[in-house]
Structure 1
């Protein structure tokens, strides 16, 4: 047995069956080993000396390239990422710094701002905080809070198949899940991996003793509203989101590798056809499951915590709307935009939010007719912190590191790793930018904030950079 087989050479040579090696060969091996050890010693000594010589020469003539000159040691202390808060840290005097920061010429539109202490809830600064403005994708935080509050982090959206009206038919009952995949790999795999239609088909065939049905009836009766929220255009249904349906594969995308892929005009029908092909059925028809029909199989979405991570981090309009409608279904008993609005308003009221002037047309913020205030966002997050919805804080992107903030704060590096927030941008109409979340000051005080700008004329990147600068400066505040 060789040493590469993990045998211990001492044990092997001491076994009763090991033959003694000739003395002459043993001497030669010992002399060879002596030469090897000596050579290694020389190499180590030379290497050590070389290292010393390099260090000395680098002090007098620093080198460039992959090596770092000794005067740069020790390395700079790494920037904090998600630094913990300190309950004993002093409250910052934001009134002494924020007026000048918010007077930035890049923020030349209507600006609603609110900053509050996360521990006590004390409002530290407000500017037009109760002015209702279009929030863009910061609205997704409202959807996340409502979903966590009413459904919980472990809730999963079901998709089931029941017996059809005839022996050679089954009914695919849509439950509201847009994250289904064909074979387990799809657009949402990275965050909220969808249930597999292949698995669902296999379960159905097993329940039917291996006999494929001829017809698949598609039951979409759970969703009884228009395919788009008020204010969302037909062009946006093809690119920024999909026509809403209670069952989809990859969120209705025609290309599941692209966030802004074109979408199927009838994503529910496409999903049913995919399922019928996997099942071996030849026909897909619209239908409704009979009351009390026996269940043949069911699959479930990823847990709500993963779905929220997905739509918050990537700002997925379709998924956030689907989650908002799912919450409406569970709470109000109907999957409609109106029921969703009712749930969102009631959820915020229960969390102590002033809901005057708030408008909820969708759960994504894609509708330009939605309205939120900076005060409402901070009050909501303060209420969520002490409720079942506190999981929302774990989903917020980290400045300079994750989600839609991964490429932000390049000119405001002080905020990297210590500001967390949901971004919001509407390109139609232009001039809608928001940032809502939390930050920790240099002293260790955790704050909750919201900034909403409408009607600015300085451009998206300029306003985003200004908001980055404001929150980064507050994070460094020892004021």
Structure 2
């Protein structure tokens, strides 16, 4: 059923329904620096920064104080991975020696596997001191490491407790209702769905039951589908059209199981029109009502509303499983909240502004989607590292807990096979496209020092498994470095 063939002019336009307020997520506190070499400009946005002149007359960036931690309640799935992995930033050992990585990484990154364009930046998590930098300002395609930017932006602007609403309001006639899409792709049909492992949210069955209850048990004859919140291209710029079949779905502001035809498969085929499919499934649960496109009247009374899992859980889900569709949906939801419109251009504006607020130089950065599926995105190793340093002292600090753990969880569950020293101590987001590979996150050295890093390679001829293994070896070598 074509969306354009089902418009109904009788239903007036409306503004988006109000979202619930989100409490601020808790963040770890950090102690002051013990030593420094070079420090990335803009490090740790939540810390006060003073400029002082050193004895030799040079400029030194000095962290003066740590802001008081914010508190809040975060609802997340059960803890994972197992207890063995190293703790995240809040327990960094300030007394641990800062590693000298120059000799180690210069040699490793000159290896034959890295035969493309490479950017790499490693920095001390506690002080922001740059430990190693090679072509760190090169703007490269980041692949799925891009999802970390989306996660940070969502947590910064929406907060960990934010939930995406799906609403039903009264229709233009007594025997009709309007399903108002709010941007949630994680709805299930009856409570059992693809996203339940990490981000169990609402079901169409629950929504239908609430609507029938509000209508005194009387089923509507017509369900109007209001998708006016998203009118942009369902495919982000640069994303190959073929990727809309299994790697993601045509973007729509309401979906069941991310538009999958089989909710047991990550790379299931997707419905060509997932919003209309969701509306038809909802209508069936209401007793077989007819379905048509329309927009809700601005003053229409609300009959029912259901919500997604909290943002913290949505971030867990798309970071751990590298879910392209969910990452893009969250990026667009953030754009809606900040810019007032759910468009790819607004998403780019929000992402760039978020990085700038965290002290990142955005020169050369390009964001066409929130998932990294578009090969035309551009990010730098410096920008990733600075962003995570800033996030460590901000509302988005919980992003570190969402990162896959080497050898334990998410897309790193089956990685680091020969890089044993990285298992349990490297937490990072992977990224893979044709000729693109990246690894971005944090690690804990053998001495207990925590390091933020990003390595991106583009245009290499190395086989996918081999370049991934090479990246794993680099991270593992830093983790076991006593240098």
TM-score (norm 1): 0.82
Distance in 2 between the 1:283 and 1:398 partners? Answer: 47
Distance in 1 between the 2:203 and 2:294 partners? Answer: 22
Q: What is aligned with 2:247?
A: 240
Q: What is aligned with 2:195?
A: 188
Distance in 2 between the 1:79 and 1:296 partners? Answer: 44
Shift of 1:80: 5.4
3-state SS in 1 of match to 2:416: coil
1:325 to 303, 321, 332: 332
1:215 to 216, 222, 242: 222
1:471 matches 2:449? no
3-state SS in 1 of match to 2:441: strand
The count of aligned residue pairs is 399
Q: What is aligned with 1:69?
A: none
Q: What is aligned with 2:380?
A: 373
CA contact (8 A) 2:161 2:310 kept: yes
1:295 matches 2:302? yes
1:81 to 56, 78, 85: 85
Q: What is aligned with 1:279?
A: 286
3-state SS in 2 of match to 1:97: helix
Q: What is aligned with 1:24?
A: none
Runs of 4+ in 1 over 4 A off after TM superposition: none
Q: What is aligned with 1:170?
A: 177
Q: What is aligned with 2:465?
A: 461
Name whichever structure is richer in helix by fraction.
1
1:144 matches 2:148? no
Q: How does 1:16-415 map to 2 (within 5 A)?
A: 81-83=85-87, 84-415=91-422
TM-score (norm 2): 0.82
Q: How does 1:426-465 map to 2 (within 5 A)?
A: 426=433, 430-465=434-469
Q: What is aligned with 2:431?
A: 424
Distance in 1 between the 2:404 and 2:111 partners? Answer: 25
- Spell out, residue by residue over 1:169-191, the C-alpha distance to the aligned partner (whole angstroms, 9 max, x if none): 00000000000001011000101
3-state SS in 1 of match to 2:255: strand
- Spell out, residue by residue over 1:224-277, the C-alpha distance to the aligned partner (whole angstroms, 9 max, x if none): 100010011221001100000000000000000000000000000000000000
- Spell out, residue by residue over 1:319-369, the C-alpha distance to the aligned partner (whole angstroms, 9 max, x if none): 000000000000000000000000000000000001110000000000000
3-state SS in 1 of match to 2:309: coil
Shift of 1:452: 0.2
CA contact (8 A) 1:79 1:417 kept: no
Shift of 1:103: 1.1
3-state SS in 2 of match to 1:108: coil
Aligned-residue Cα RMSD (Å) equals: 1.1
Shift of 1:282: 2.5
3-state SS in 2 of match to 1:200: helix
- Spell out, residue by residue over 1:54-104, the C-alpha distance to the aligned partner (whole angstroms, 9 max, x if none): xxxxxxxxxxxxxxxxxxxxxxxx995215531111110111211011111
Distance in 2 between the 1:199 and 1:85 partners? Answer: 44
Shift of 1:378: 0.1
CA contact (8 A) 2:92 2:126 kept: no
CA contact (8 A) 2:220 2:286 kept: yes
Residue ranges of structure 2 left out of the alignment (5+ in a row): 1-81
CA contact (8 A) 2:438 2:456 kept: yes
3-state SS in 1 of match to 2:452: strand
- Spell out, residue by residue over 1:166-216, the C-alpha distance to the aligned partner (whole angstroms, 9 max, x if none): 000000000000000010110001011131110100100010000000000
Distance in 1 between the 2:209 and 2:364 partners? Answer: 50
3-state SS in 2 of match to 1:442: coil
Q: What is aligned with 1:52?
A: none
CA contact (8 A) 1:143 1:363 kept: yes
CA contact (8 A) 1:169 1:217 kept: yes
Q: What is aligned with 2:31?
A: none
Residue ranges of structure 1 left out of the alignment (5+ in a row): 1-77
3-state SS in 1 of match to 2:284: helix
Distance in 1 between the 2:142 and 2:275 partners? Answer: 30
- Spell out, residue by residue over 1:107-145, the C-alpha distance to the aligned partner (whole angstroms, 9 max, x if none): 111110000000001111100000000000000000000
CA contact (8 A) 1:186 1:194 kept: no
CA contact (8 A) 1:113 1:126 kept: yes
3-state SS in 2 of match to 1:227: coil
Distance in 1 between the 2:467 and 2:372 partners? Answer: 18
